[in-house]
Structures are given as structure tokens and as C-alpha cells.
Amino acid sequence: MLSRLAENLYWHGRYLERAEDLARLINVNAHLNLDLPSGLSAGWEPLVRITGNAARFKAEEREAGERQVVRFLLSDEANSGSLKATLENARENLRSARDLLPREVWEQMNGLYIKGNEQLTGNLSKRRRHEFLRELILDCQQIAGTLLGCMSQDHAYDFILIGRYLERADMTTRILEVRGYDLLPDDIENLSPYESIQWMSVLKSLTGYQMYRRHVRLRVNGNDVLRFLLRNDEFPRSVMFCLRALEALIEGLPGEDDQALRAITRLQRTLNETKLVGLRGEPLGKLMDKLQIELAETHDAVRQTWFPSL
């Protein structure tokens, strides 16, 4: 397969995953704010931080209210990482590689892009927004499902998955980083019902609540959620799951250079060797930072190995 197309598919995988994660974040945050008394609510500003937009958003000196933040994340022209721009990037990267994929995938992606362009105008009502984002998550899942059900599991598919899992692992660490700061109470034993609700929202933003309940019988608490989302082997949005998937994918790719594999092994070691019990605040933030840096190194290694600049 052509290096150029491998790169396009990798980015398509990343952007589509990013679009889905963004949609989940916004919907869950809206729900969370409805459940919390106003004093306890962290509002919408954390979403700006999770998406790495704090500097850009502040530079505009605007209030971090729902309307401003959501508009910024969904359709702001100044935000190159807006949902609208992300969908366009997912589509453009797929466009050049479309001949490698089942035709339906392009049709779905194109349909999703057109829908996004029509609806993400900045004037989306709350109810329509919720409905649109819920559909968008399903549309993304439909594309993933079509790929799984209809596409040869060849290298083209591998590169989409590599992009998807790297992005997903990264997003999970970002959510934990920001939410971890906001939410972890000083006294871990004394969980108020609201904190439990907040952790539930973290799980829900990753559609992990039900799965968590099946794995962990105790009521929702910070330590277990952290362990579940970082180290669980079976939940497809946990960081460890993503890393294991990446390891298997990268092992199957051609080439002598093993720098990408080494980067993944390093990540797994970092994750396994850190004590998670009681991890909160600053140390938690540091761990997530470290994981994010190592994920970025993995990205570099993948790029240098399979699509060195042409």
C-alpha cells in the first residue's frame, strides 16, 4: 500500500475518532450540568482544556459559558479543531484513499460531512444539538461497523485502526487529566453523591458506565474508575486496551524498523508501573502528561517508519 495513502487513512482514523469523542464530551457535559447544583458544577470551561484549546480560547477573551464553549467546539471558524473542521478533515483524508475502502464507507462519511455542514451553523438549539451529536456518534459507529464487516483486514484497515486507537487513548487521558483535577476530592473515603455523579459522567463520556458496572460491583468511585479506564483489558476505550490493540496492529506491519513497537512497549510499562491507588490532583496530571507525550512519540515513530515525508 502507498505510504501517502497509509498516512491519509491514519489521519482519517484519528479525525473520525476525534469527532466522535468530541460529540460524547459535549453531550455528557450537558447532562452533568443538569444534574449538579450550580455551585458544584465545573461548567463548560473543562471542555476547552480537554481539547487542548485553553490558550486559543482565552486569547479571544470570552466568557466560558455554554453558548460560547459549545459554539467554539462545534463550529467556530477560528478553531481549526472544531467538530465541523474535524469532520471535514476526516472526509478529506478519506477522499484520497477512498479507492481502498468499501464504497459505502465513503458514502457514509460524505453523508456525515454534509449533515455536519448543514447543521453546525452556530445556531443549533440545545435539543437539536443533543440529537445531532447522538446521531453523529452512531454515524461514526456505523462507519466503524461497515469497515469491520465489509473491509479486508489489510494494511489499509490497520492504519485506520492505528489512528483510531492512538486518538482514543489520547482522548481518554485528556478526559481523566481535566476531570481528575476538577473532581477528585481531598478525602477519598468521604464520597458525596455528587462526586459519584461526576465520576459517572466521566464513564459516560466514554460510554463506559454499563461496562464499568459489570466489571466493578462497588458504587462508582475515583480509584476504580481510574483503574478501569487506564488498565482494563477488555473495555475498548480504556488506555490499556488501546495500547494492546496498537501493539498487535504494529507487529503485523511490514518493515525492519521497530521504533513504533518500542514506543508502545514503553507506554505499557509506564502504565503498569505507576501506582494508581490514591492518585489524584497534580500526580495524576503528571501521569496523564507523560502518557500523552509518549503517545505523541508513538505517532512520530509510526510516521517515520511507514510514511516518511515523501
Partner 1 sequence: MDFNDYSAGDFHDELIGPGGRPRAASRALWKYLKNLDRSELDERRAACELAAMVAGITFRVYFEDTGVDRAMPFDLIPRVIALREWQQIEAGLKQRVRALNLFIDDLYNDQRIINDGVFPADLLTGSVNFREQCRGFSPPLGIWAHICGSDLVRDAEGTMYVLEDNLRIPSGVSYMLENRQVMKRVFPELFEDSGIQPIDDYASQLYDTLASLSPRPADYPSVVVLTPGMYNSAYFEHAYLAQQMGVQLVEGRDLVVDDNDDVYMRTVAGLELVDVIYRRVDDEFLDPEVFREDSLLGVAGLMRAWRSGKVALANAPGAGVADDKVVYSWVPDIIRYYLGEEPLIKNVPTYRCEDPDQRAWVIERLDELVVKPANESGGYGMLIGPRSTKRERKEFAKLIEADPRNYIAQPTLALSTCPTIVQGGVGPRHIDLRPFVLSGQETYVTNGGLTRVALKAGSLVVNSSQGGGSKDTWIVDTDR
What is the contact surface with partner 1 in residues (CB under 8 A)?
A: 1-4, 6, 92, 95-96, 98-100, 103, 106-107, 110-111, 114, 155, 159, 253-255, 306-307, 310
Q: Whats the size of the chain, residue-wise?
A: 310
What's the closest the beta carbon of residue 249 comes to partner 1, in angstroms? Answer: 12
Query: Which residue, 103 or 286, has its beta carbon nearer to partner 1?
Result: 103
What's the closest the beta carbon of residue 167 comes to partner 1, in angstroms? Answer: 20
- The full DSSP string for 120-164 is -SS---HHHHHHHHHHHHHHHHHHHHHHHHHS--SHHHHHHHHHH
95, burial (CB in 10 Å: exposed 0-12, middle 13-18, buried 19+): middle
What's the closest the beta carbon of residue 75 comes to partner 1, in angstroms? Answer: 20
C-alpha cell at 113: 460531512
Query: Which residue, 106 or 181, has its beta carbon nearer to partner 1?
Result: 106
247, burial (CB in 10 Å: exposed 0-12, middle 13-18, buried 19+): middle
Query: Which residue, 97 or 183, has its beta carbon nearer to partner 1?
Result: 97
What's the closest the beta carbon of residue 181 comes to partner 1, in angstroms? Answer: 40
What's the closest the beta carbon of residue 133 comes to partner 1, in angstroms? Answer: 21
Query: Which residue, 117 or 265, has its beta carbon nearer to partner 1?
Result: 117
Degrees to nearest 5, angle at CA 87 with 83 and 88:
115
d(CA 119, CA 113): 10
What's the closest the beta carbon of residue 300 comes to partner 1, in angstroms? Answer: 16
Query: Which residue, 109 or 133, has its beta carbon nearer to partner 1?
Result: 109
d(CA 22, CA 197): 20
Query: Which residue, 49 or 95, has its beta carbon nearer to partner 1?
Result: 95
Is residue 266 within 8 Å of residue 225, measured between CB atoms? Answer: no
Degrees to nearest 5, angle at CA 180 with 178 and 183:
105
Nearest partner of 47 among 72, 84, 79, judged by Cα? 72
What's the closest the beta carbon of residue 96 comes to partner 1, in angstroms? Answer: 5
Task: Count the Cβ atoms, other than its own, within 10 Å of residue 19.
Answer: 28
- Angle, to 10 degrees, between the axis of helix 193-205 and the axis of helix 3-35? 160
What's the closest the beta carbon of residue 297 comes to partner 1, in angstroms? Answer: 20
Query: Which residue, 44 or 159, has its beta carbon nearer to partner 1?
Result: 159
